[in-house]
Amino acid sequence: MTLDDAEGLAEAEGQRFGTFVAVASRRALLQSGEVVHLGDRAFDILLALLARRGDFVARDDLVAAVWPDRLVGDAALRVHISHLRKALGADPCGASWIVHVPGRGYALAEVASDAGGVSRCEAAGGDETRQDANPNARVFGREPILKAITDNLASRQLTTLVGPGGVGKTTVAAEVVRRVRDRFDTTVEVDLSVVVDPPMLIGALAASLQIGSPKTTSLSALIAAVRDREVLILLNSCEHLVAAVAEVAELMLRQAPRLRILATSRQALRAEGEWVRRVEPLDVPPPGAALTPAAALGFGAIELFVARANCQPGGYVLAPDDVVPIAEICRRLEGIPLAIELAAARLDRLELLGLGQSLDDGLGALSDGLPGVAPRHQTLNATLDWSYRDLTPDEQMTLRALSVFRGFSAQAAADLLQDEAVNDVSQTLMSLVAKSLVVAHLAADGTDYRLLDITRAYAHAKLEEAGEIARRRRRHAEIFKVVADRSEAEWARLPTTAWVETYAGDVPNFRLALDWAFSADGDAETAVGLTVALIPLFLQLSLVEECLNHVQAAISRLGRLRTDTRQARLKLSAALGWKPAGRTTEDQAASDLVETLAIATELGDVDYRLRCYWGLWLNAGNAARPAEALDFADAFIALADQAGEPNERLVGERMRARSLMLLGRLRDARLGIDRVLADYVAPPNRSHIVRYHHEQTLNARVIHSRLRWLMGNPIEAYADLRETVAAAEALGHGLTLAYVLADGACPLALAAGDFENAERYIGDLRREAETLGVAAWAAYSRGFHGELLHRQGNPAAGAESLRAAIRELTDLRFTVHRSAFSAALAAALLDTGAASEAGAVLEAELAEAAVVGDAWHTPELLRLRSRARIADLGRDGLAEARSDVIHALALSHAQGALTWERRAQVELAALTDLKASVSRRGALTERASRPAPASR
């Protein structure tokens, strides 16, 4: 077959994969137009694999396709698979085209991607090659820096690639050499990692350039050899010979203008004319990104992971379900290529979930070496050992000490080492930055520093080896206790945005300090002080569960302190006394608040007395005891008036309006909430968010929208509420957003029949509840989801979800919305034909409402009970059903609840028609039952 014949045949009939074309009619395999010789059985196997595109072919199916009339053992299949593998050669990442997964069978690597995954060839295709570990492997995620270097190589005599160990400097440099090789007469690589002393540098260059004897060649001889030629020299791993390399490079480049030097080093050479390019870690997806496999491979870190995993025995295909765990692994490894390759190499022994969990073990999880690479790159420890040994004693001690930080400033580093004999901490820090062991980030207010997680873990292990952990952790906690105290002091005077921007970045260090302070080696006074100081920040950031766990731990340690603990107990108890939607029992929360109120009264602290009244009001209201809650709101208002705090009074008015709404006193509630919205001015520092856990204006707007809806303006109410949701989302305060969703957005979207937004709001509420650890709001989301299911035509599933939500809320004693959920459950049950159960649900809820005064939903419960009576008893229930509706009409009219009143009017009209129909049927029945008149 000629080449022209092959090309025409491939174009007409071939099945393509990679650079191959299989032509079944001629039983020919072509690669780039050239015929590949293949045995008959091997070709049949190839056709069988191509016939099942997008799937693995089981061993038995493969045998049946190739040997349909014979019994063939595994050995024969393996022989011909081996022949096929040899004929096809390696794919772009150096592995076999034939993928074998035990239990699933065989597939062509590229074809296997059609089943919703991405193959090794899609991940590793292209003509770029690495020159280090595997000459067939691609370079991933480096196109911008590769283009910059290759484009500028003609005008830059000396280019140095700098970055931490394992970041891929050698890989990038080797790829640059491959791309530009044709521009030069000679290209050579000099591995300086094996050059121990500076005097050996000339000999290493001479050996690579094949000039004379390495032992006797002079620098002048080197220069003479390259002066009139286009030569590119790659000097790899210069960090331990920086001064010598810089000196030699300067001398050679001055006298050999056509010479180009490309160097890799963990720090710049600081040579004349040097162009420094930093090699950054590979791109990783942001947390929470929803990505398809194809989109995920747009990130260099994932692309590298998939390709390297696929080069393991058995191969690997990226499936949609694997994107999230792989992205998390790559994020945890911070996009460091060496770490990613080491992790991917473990997939032959661990599933993805197990691999991610193994990273909790630190560097030990990635201790196995990569074959075929330099010893210093075989493991992360070896890479970091190489850098650590090259540090001065001061630099080693500083690096070890810095491992206790999660990010730090130069001042924090100096404070940590203030008792050490380090000559100049600032200078030492700059040296570690230059050597790529510390990462510097220029910010608007200065420079922030951090260690990559891999470097930090290594340095922390060295800290432990040196026996220095205890004093470094103690000093770290002392430093951040000062920072925490400052944040508490500035909370009351700084604008909230500026305050959060100043201190939110310190949260990882605050957590480390708290972990140490509460540990067996810690200090009770530091633990209590840190916890108290951080309450405002943690609540502002909606870290509720975390904050209250620390508060409980701190209260348990108050007895160990020898100082007056009343102020600390006041602040801790006030925080713990708030029952955040089902975190503690209502009785315990009330008890904590009463105790705190007594301390605040004793100390004359108006602020904390107000907080206690607010907490008592909230707990009573959430337990569906609005009359009791109203008393606490009135006490709050009285204290605010006494203290001359008009803005606090308006907070109390908002509390009062909500209690009045739940009591069914809608007109009074509307007057109060209108005053709040007209006069309330949020403090510049948003201190009310910390004091009362929510943004007060948005909470007031939710109450206003609920009142407008109840009072007969549903369209305007929902439009206002949607604007409130947008404002809460923009605020970025989780507790406020969750309240807006739970108390406003979800119920009104469902009432408006806006199922698309209802589904979104319910999902948002569920996620906020999970993030905040608030069990009741999680139950709310289940209840609203049940109502949505019912409204969308699945009342049975809706009823089940609503039952579960009501049970959870009852167990939590968080029953403020239970009457609404019970109404929704009854409606769903009626649509399933379970009228008797619906009636029982309504009876129980009405009885509870009558006891506690929770009257805001009573008209709707009565209306639904009338429907349940008719559905259950027919015309025998008509009189009682009519009585319920008339009661609902009277009550809704008295409340000003025009929405309930309209529904009751419609129900009454239906009952009137039903009664008339029954009367007509009764008259007809009576007439039909009379004896016929006697005939005359």
Tens digit of each residue's pLDDT (9 = 90 or more) over 758-768: 999 999 999 99
Write down which residue in 278, 294, 320 finishes a domain. 278
Q: How many CB atoms lie within 10 A of CB 13?
A: 14
pLDDT for position 96: 57
Average pLDDT over residues 539-551: 87
Query: What are the tens digits of pLDDT across the range 891-922?
Result: 999 999 999 999 999 999 988 887 676 555 55
208 and 99 in a single domain? The answer is: no
Burial (CB < 10 A; 0-12, 13-18, 19+), residue 110, is: buried
Write down which residue in 66, 87, 109 finishes a domain. 109
The pLDDT confidence band at residue 21, using thresholds 50, 70 and 90, is: confident
Please tell me the distance from the alpha carbon of residue 150 to that of residue 277, in angstroms, as a whole number.
12
105 and 147 in a single domain? The answer is: no
Instruction: Output the domain CATH number for residue 676.
Output: 1.25.40.10
Is the pLDDT confidence value at 334 over 80? yes
179 and 102 in a single domain? The answer is: no
pLDDT for position 7: 44
Helix, coil or strand: residue 270: coil
Average pLDDT over residues 174-187: 90
Please tell me the distance from the alpha carbon of residue 203 to that of residue 218, in angstroms, as a whole number.
8
Please tell me the distance from the alpha carbon of residue 801 to that of residue 755, in angstroms, as a whole number.
17
Is the pLDDT confidence value at 291 over 60? yes
pLDDT winner (highest mean) among 232-246, 681-695, 872-886: 232-246
80 and 193 in a single domain? The answer is: no
Q: Picking from 268-277, 358-367, 640-649, 652-661, which range would have the lowest pLDDT averaged per residue? A: 358-367
Q: In one letter, which amino acid is 6?
A: A
Q: Picking from 116-130, 614-628, 733-747, 855-869, which range would have the lowest pLDDT averaged per residue? A: 116-130
Backbone angles phi, psi at 427, to 5 degrees: -65, -40
The tokens 């007060």 sit on which residue?
696
The pLDDT confidence band at residue 22, using thresholds 50, 70 and 90, is: confident
The pLDDT confidence band at residue 689, using thresholds 50, 70 and 90, is: confident
Q: Who has greater pLDDT, 78 or 931?
A: 78
Query: What are the tens digits of pLDDT across the range 95-141?
Result: 457 776 545 677 776 543 333 333 333 333 222 323 333 433 578 99
629 and 675 in a single domain? The answer is: yes
Is the pLDDT confidence value at 486 over 90? yes
Q: Picking from 79-83, 414-418, 432-436, 870-874, which range would have the lowest pLDDT averaged per residue? A: 79-83
Helix, coil or strand: residue 234: strand
Mean pLDDT, the chain, as a whole number?
Answer: 84
pLDDT for position 23: 85
271 and 152 in a single domain? The answer is: yes
164 and 266 in a single domain? The answer is: yes
Is the pLDDT confidence value at 820 over 80? yes
Is the pLDDT confidence value at 580 over 60? no
Q: In one letter, which amino acid is 236?
A: N
Is the pLDDT confidence value at 412 over 80? yes
589 and 676 in a single domain? The answer is: yes
Q: Is residue 255 part of a domain?
A: yes
Is the pLDDT confidence value at 545 over 50? yes
Average pLDDT over residues 847-862: 91
Are 145 and 139 in contact by the 8 Å Cβ rule? The answer is no
The pLDDT confidence band at residue 361, using thresholds 50, 70 and 90, is: low
Q: Is residue 655 part of a domain?
A: yes
The tokens 């029954």 sit on which residue?
918
Q: Is residue 710 part of a domain?
A: no
Is the pLDDT confidence value at 590 over 80? no
Is the pLDDT confidence value at 360 over 90? no
Q: Is residue 399 part of a domain?
A: yes
Q: Is residue 47 part of a domain?
A: yes
Q: Is residue 24 part of a domain?
A: yes
Q: Picking from 31-45, 67-81, 215-229, 806-820, which range would have the lowest pLDDT averaged per residue? A: 67-81
Instruction: Output the domain CATH number for residue 85.
Output: 1.10.10.10
Instruction: Output the domain CATH number for residue 169.
Output: 3.40.50.300
Nearest to residue 653, comparing CAs of 623, 667, 674? 674
Please tell me the distance from the alpha carbon of residue 705 to that of residue 720, in angstroms, as a whole number.
7
- % of residues, the chain, pLDDT over 70: 84
The tokens 């947008």 sit on which residue?
726
Structural domain boundaries enclosing 909? 857-923
Is the pLDDT confidence value at 472 over 90? yes
The tokens 């944040």 sit on which residue?
487
pLDDT winner (highest mean) among 63-77, 243-257, 292-306: 243-257
Supply 649's token pair.
Answer: 């009074």
Is the pLDDT confidence value at 748 over 80? yes
Task: Tell me how many domains the chain contains.
Answer: 5
Q: Who has greater pLDDT, 145 or 581?
A: 145
- % of residues, the chain, pLDDT over 90: 47
pLDDT for position 655: 97
259 and 165 in a single domain? The answer is: yes
Supply 270's token pair.
Answer: 């600081």
pLDDT for position 931: 55
Supply 519's token pair.
Answer: 């540990």
Are 572 and 531 in contact by the 8 Å Cβ rule? The answer is yes
Rounded to 5°, angle at Cα 724 from 721 and 726: 115
pLDDT for position 320: 87
Q: Is residue 705 part of a domain?
A: no
47 and 159 in a single domain? The answer is: no
Q: Is residue 746 part of a domain?
A: no
Please tell me the distance from the alpha carbon of residue 620 to that of residue 587, in angstroms, as a whole number.
10
60 and 177 in a single domain? The answer is: no
Average pLDDT over residues 186-194: 86
pLDDT winner (highest mean) among 86-90, 507-511, 539-543: 507-511
pLDDT for position 135: 35
Residue 189 DSSP symbol: E
pLDDT for position 58: 83
Is the pLDDT confidence value at 27 over 70? yes
577 and 689 in a single domain? The answer is: yes
pLDDT for position 108: 75
3-class SS shares of the chain: helix, strand, coil, % to 5: 65, 5, 25
Is the pLDDT confidence value at 639 over 60? yes
